[in-house]
Structure 1
Amino acid sequence: MSVETGMGFDREQEELRLAVRSFLDKRSSEEEVRRLMATADGFDLRVWTDMATQLELHGLAIPEKWGGAGATRVEQGIVLEEMGRALLCGPYFSTVVLAADLLLCSGDEVAAARHLPRIASGDLVATAAVAEGRQGWDLDAVRARAERGPDGWRLTGMKTYVTDGALAELILVVCDTAEGLGLFAVDGAADGLTRTPLPTMDQTRKQARLEFTGVAATPVGAVGRMRDRIEHALLLACAALATEQAGGARRLVEASTEYAKSRVQFGRPIGAFQAVKHRLADMLMESEAARSAAYYAMFAGDEEIVWAAPLAKAYCSDAYVKVAQGAIQVFGGIGLTWEHFAHLYLKRAHSSAVLFGGAAEHRERLAAHLGL
């Protein structure tokens, strides 16, 4: 199997891509995606376990002292790009990216030692709860409250758009406290926690609304001094999501190009018509630019990530939607039917575009950072 990357990856990174793509070609086919998105949990436990044990993907970017391989974020991006290409159904992003990065960024060695080895081994499904209704992902809008009493910390409030929130065993909740913003670990089976699956347009990524009524919680990191650390973890999540978006866009370009070569109309392949050529060229340009932006963010250091992640998330969000819409036009009416795969990518493109904030929000963030 040949994999054309067009970027400066080394041999080991190319081999990682080949291994992940080969695995997903077999275990995340269109038929399997359709089967899983119709289930309550939305993932196959055997596939989840095999990814952790056979390919060791769960611990890829987790430090060795906590059971991981200690790889860089670039390797993590390669894995996510291939998962986006295959529309993998499962809590990988929620657990291995979002929750793990929050634990790593928290500075809490005890919490990291407790949870990261289980994430690396595939024994733990985790997620993070940040957004609250229309307030979105703005940390200034956090209203969920954590208060310390004689029996420890208790959480009250609501979180929504929590990816894999209905099934996660560990939930990292961003809350306001008397001291300021805090991050708290909550057991998914805790008393007072109500989890309601949300009906979403994108059925390949499960989301839930969580309601907390005096739920017992454990602080992660220093309560009241967590804002910068949480913001940094969310920036890393945006960069990671951008690579997933780039993978989905690239898959649509490939599929649309193949279809344009084989679909005959008026005695010629439709790819021979200038309008279709232009459409495919525009899609390829958007896809390649999205990959460049996404990987720039994954290569970025701690200082660069402040502006590289919003740039990547904004561009990749728009690019994925544009490419998905272009694919629908190339495929024609069949692309909008339930039986065709193109609509699955279009829905993932739209859901990913608003996850962690829309393109306009990230452009405003980038502009503010640059002083514009």
Structure 2
Amino acid sequence: MSAQPDLLYSEEEEALRAAVRDLLADHCDPAGVITRTESGAPHDREAWKALADGMGLAGLLVPEERGGQGATHREAAVVLEELGRSVAPVPYLTSAVVATEALLACHADDLLAELASGRRIGALAIALAIALGVAPGGDHRAVRAEGGALHGELTGVADATAADVLLVPADDGGLYAVEAGAVTVTAQVSLDLTRPVAKVVLDGAAARRVGDAAPAVRRALRAGAGLLASEQLGLAEWSLTETVRYLKERKQFNRPVGGFQALKHRLAQLWLEIVNTRAAARNAADALATGSADVDVAVALAQSYAAPVAVHAAEEALQLHAGIGMTWEHPAHLYLKRAKADSIAYGTAGRHREALAELVDLRAP
């Protein structure tokens, strides 16, 4: 029988949270993030350098003997909660989690150490909307390996415009490392302006085989989906906190709007949903960290629940901020767009519910 998961935060995790929150307060204030999305260069390189190089957070999931910090998914989850609270435009999920997890299943410790140090940014070259369980043979086979070079076209690759190296699954079952300069990366229209997607064209790009695609992609997508729930938790918590704060200040009929019973009920319901999301996200992070036999169940459960809650929280924030919430200057739209984009990342909630039903043998009739 599996050990009981520990859903509480340790003192070290709370200290990590405080440090990351302080750093993001300096680098990712709402006005600055909005300005950056308008600049044509949405990724915040300074914030990434501070997180990855200054604090060493890019290598949390990498063992010390392979060039990382030797921490666990629990610590990475805390970082992602704070990144979600700030909708920080940094490639942490895509590089420090998804690409790193793919490399942990391979034999490319030189490249893994570079990603762990933050000196280079990696991206797994599959569409952000690809779900766990879609084995190489679907979209992954869009790339053809021929004589040490890759040919093909991929769309919807998150943070490809920031990546220095792309990890590309190919039709021969291999996972290949390709330098970003050897491919053509074209930004695509993206709902989430803080995590842009791009089209990647490989036209005879020189590639280095680093391992087998199937186990690497499965490991990467499982960790990505499981820890995405922590980002969604942070996003939802910000939405609730800021909405409560605004409703205490906003007055109608000479009394705070937050005192109206109908709004209290909506906020109380949202608070309950967020509490449950925290339990599901922490359970997934703990299962990934401990290698629990129930990790697939924990990840599917977390994404089944967290995705719709994050969208609901962001929608409530925008609506309850009334007219100001509809303006470009207020950051509410960034959170709603991130929540909507996250709701299809690494599989929709419906897809995860289907997987969960199979895992616990409760298939629909």
Same fold (TM over 0.5): yes
Residue of structure 2 aligned with 1:146, choices 124, 144, 157: 144
SS of the residue corresponding to residue 321 of structure 2 reads helix
C-alpha deviations, 1:306-335, integer Å up to 9, x for none?
Answer: 121122112111110011111122111221
Alignment of 1:311-322 (within 5 A): 311-322=301-312
Alignment of 1:185 onto 2:177: yes
Alignment of 1:333-348 (within 5 A): 333-348=323-338
The TM-score, its normalising length taken from structure 1, stands at 0.89
Q: 1:232 deviation in Å? A: 2.3
**Who is 2:3 aligned against?**
none
Aligned residues: 351
**Who is 1:272 aligned against?**
259
C-alpha deviations, 1:204-258, integer Å up to 9, x for none?
Answer: 1111011222222111214xxx423421221111011110010000011100111
SS of the residue corresponding to residue 298 of structure 2 reads helix
SS of the residue corresponding to residue 39 of structure 2 reads coil
> Which amino acid in the other structure matches residue 187 of structure 1?
E
Change (3 A) 1:277 1:170: same
C-alpha deviations, 1:50-103, integer Å up to 9, x for none?
Answer: 222321111222111122110111001000100100111112221111110110
SS of the residue corresponding to residue 127 of structure 2 reads coil
> Which amino acid in the other structure matches residue 239 of structure 1?
G
**Who is 1:117 aligned against?**
113
Alignment of 1:330 onto 2:320: yes
Residue of structure 1 aligned with 2:210, choices 204, 220, 230: 220
**Who is 2:51 aligned against?**
51
Alignment of 1:254 onto 2:244: no
Alignment of 1:1-372 (within 5 A): 8-106=8-106, 108=107, 111=108, 113-131=109-127, 138-139=134-135, 140-142=137-139, 143-149=141-147, 153-177=148-172, 181-190=173-182, 193-222=183-212, 226-300=213-287, 301-371=291-361, 372=363
CA contact (8 A) 1:261 1:271 kept: yes
SS of the residue corresponding to residue 192 of structure 2 reads coil
SS of the residue corresponding to residue 202 of structure 2 reads strand
**Who is 1:3 aligned against?**
none
Q: 1:132 deviation in Å? A: 9.1
Aligned partners of 1:253, 1:132: CA distance in 2, in Å?
27
The TM-score, its normalising length taken from structure 2, stands at 0.91
Structure 1: unaligned runs, 5 residues or longer = 1-6
SS of the residue corresponding to residue 176 of structure 1 reads coil
CA contact (8 A) 1:166 1:208 kept: yes
CA contact (8 A) 2:128 2:345 kept: no
C-alpha deviations, 1:265-320, integer Å up to 9, x for none?
Answer: 11111111111001111111121111111110000125222121122112111110
SS of the residue corresponding to residue 71 of structure 1 reads coil
Aligned partners of 2:338, 2:128: CA distance in 1, in Å?
21
Q: 1:185 deviation in Å? A: 0.9
SS of the residue corresponding to residue 236 of structure 2 reads helix
Aligned partners of 2:30, 2:233: CA distance in 1, in Å?
19
CA contact (8 A) 1:132 1:158 kept: no
Q: 1:38 deviation in Å? A: 2.3
Change (3 A) 1:278 1:213: same
SS of the residue corresponding to residue 189 of structure 1 reads helix
SS of the residue corresponding to residue 58 of structure 1 reads helix
Aligned partners of 1:67, 1:132: CA distance in 2, in Å?
27
Q: 1:105 deviation in Å? A: 2.3
CA contact (8 A) 1:165 1:207 kept: yes
Please identify, of 273-282 and 138-147, the stretch whose mean Cα deviation from structure 2 is larger.
138-147
Aligned partners of 2:131, 2:355: CA distance in 1, in Å?
14
Structure 2: unaligned runs, 5 residues or longer = 1-6
C-alpha RMSD of matched pairs (Å): 1.9
